[in-house]
């Protein structure tokens, strides 16, 4: 199973102070060094973390494939077509959300998605749809001509006990069904060092897991000692 690392929150830290550091690309290079199979960034319409220049820079400099998360908006579709990341993952976006909430309604937004997906595919980009684990959404992904889906694991990660077990079953059934339809199955959102093992064990046919927040959060802690030592050395 492959790991795609989402480095959006390195950009969140940069944007918080309007500095040039920490550079998301530098973080991505370290991810590559550590074995990441791909890098994901989300160019949001509100540009709260990743900026347009980051997308161009990542496309030029990365060795592993770039997966660009984005809303189905004409402006962002144009950017994707110009930059040509290896993969685009279409996600829903709401202005006030803390992070992507819920999956893309591929079935409900069929007519709006169809031309954008065709445009992205014509540019040679592999299109993935970030959807809830439901038959309706998986059928819509196939009808839209998307070769890949990313199953939204957010609910699984937020729930506990029997409700979490139910959601895990739903994810496993969706992966099985999607695989039978010929879709490639990715997954992500909210996965962390604690909830990953059970998810991995229960859900079949997974190709790529896209994980961001928990890895960036862990990196802050495992890197803190060295960061303080370096500053102390300057004071010595
Ligand atoms: N996959 C998609 C489609 C997402 O929108 C996100 C969050 O940007 C992720 C994966 C990664 O989620 P997390 O940061 O919670 O690991």
> Would the CB of 42 count as within 6 Å of ligand 1?
yes
Look up the CATH number of the domain holding residue 64: 3.20.20.70
Which tens digits make up the pLDDT trace of 8-58? 999 999 999 999 999 999 999 999 999 999 999 999 999 999 999 999 999
Question: What integer pLDDT is reported at residue 102 of this predicted model?
Answer: 85
Q: Average pLDDT for residues 91-109, to the nearest whole number?
A: 86
Q: Is 189 a catalytic residue?
A: yes
Please report the atom of ligand 1 found closest to the CA of residue 154.
15
**Total of domains in the chain:** 1
Q: Report the nearest-CA residue for atom 9 of ligand 1.
A: 189
Question: What integer pLDDT is reported at residue 182 of this predicted model?
Answer: 98
Question: What integer pLDDT is reported at residue 133 of this predicted model?
Answer: 98
Ligand 1 centroid – CA 232 distance (Å)? 35
Range from 18-27, 96-105, 207-216 carrying the lowest mean pLDDT: 96-105
> Would the CB of 8 count as within 6 Å of ligand 1?
yes
Q: Locate all alpha helices (DSSP H) within the chain, ordered by sequence.
A: 8-17, 24-33, 52-61, 74-83, 110-122, 135-144, 154-158, 161-180, 196-202, 213-235
- Could you tell me the residue range of the domain that residue 54 belongs to? 2-235
pTM of the predicted model, to two decimals?
Answer: 0.96
Please report the atom of ligand 1 found closest to the CA of residue 42.
8
Do 14 and 24 contact (CB within 8 A), yes or no?
yes
Q: Cα dihedral angle (157, 159, 164, 167), rounded to 10 degrees? A: -70
Average pLDDT, the chain: 97
> Would the CB of 210 count as within 6 Å of ligand 1?
yes
Question: What integer pLDDT is reported at residue 15 of this predicted model?
Answer: 98
> Would the CB of 150 count as within 6 Å of ligand 1?
yes
Contacts of 116 (CB under 8 A, 6+ apart): 72, 77, 90
Angle between helices 24-33 and 52-61 (to 10 degrees): 30
Q: Average pLDDT for residues 130-135, to the nearest whole number?
A: 98
Do 83 and 54 contact (CB within 8 A), yes or no?
no
Distances (CA, A) of 67 to 54, 70, 228: 13, 10, 33
């Amino acid at each position: 199973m492959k790991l795609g690392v989402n480095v959006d929150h390195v950009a969140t830290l940069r944007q918080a102070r309007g500095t040039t550091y920490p550079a998301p690309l530098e973080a991505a290079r370290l991810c590559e060094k550590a074995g990441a199979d791909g890098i994901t960034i989300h160019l949001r319409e509100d540009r709260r973390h990743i900026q347009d220049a980051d997308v161009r820079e990542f496309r030029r400099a990365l060795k592993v494939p770039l997966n660009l998360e984005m809303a189905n908006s004409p402006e962002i579709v144009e950017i994707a077509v110009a930059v040509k990341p290896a993969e685009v993952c279409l996600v829903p976006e709401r202005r006030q959300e803390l992070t992507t909430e819920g999956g893309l309604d591929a079935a409900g937004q069929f007519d709006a998605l169809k031309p954008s997906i065709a445009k992205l595919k014509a540019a040679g980009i592999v299109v993935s749809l970030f959807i809830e684990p439901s038959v309706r959404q998986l059928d819509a992904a196939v009808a839209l001509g998307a070769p890949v889906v990313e199953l939204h694991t957010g609910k699984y990660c937020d729930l506990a006990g029997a409700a979490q077990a139910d959601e895990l079953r739903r994810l496993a059934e969706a992966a099985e069904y999607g695989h039978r339809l010929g879709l490639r199955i990715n997954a992500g959102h909210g996965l962390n060092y604690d909830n990953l093992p059970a998810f991995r064990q229960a859900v079949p046919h997974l190709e790529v897991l896209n994980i961001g927040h928990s890895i960036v959060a862990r990196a802050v802690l495992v890197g803190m000692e060295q960061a303080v030592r370096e500053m102390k050395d300057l004071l010595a």
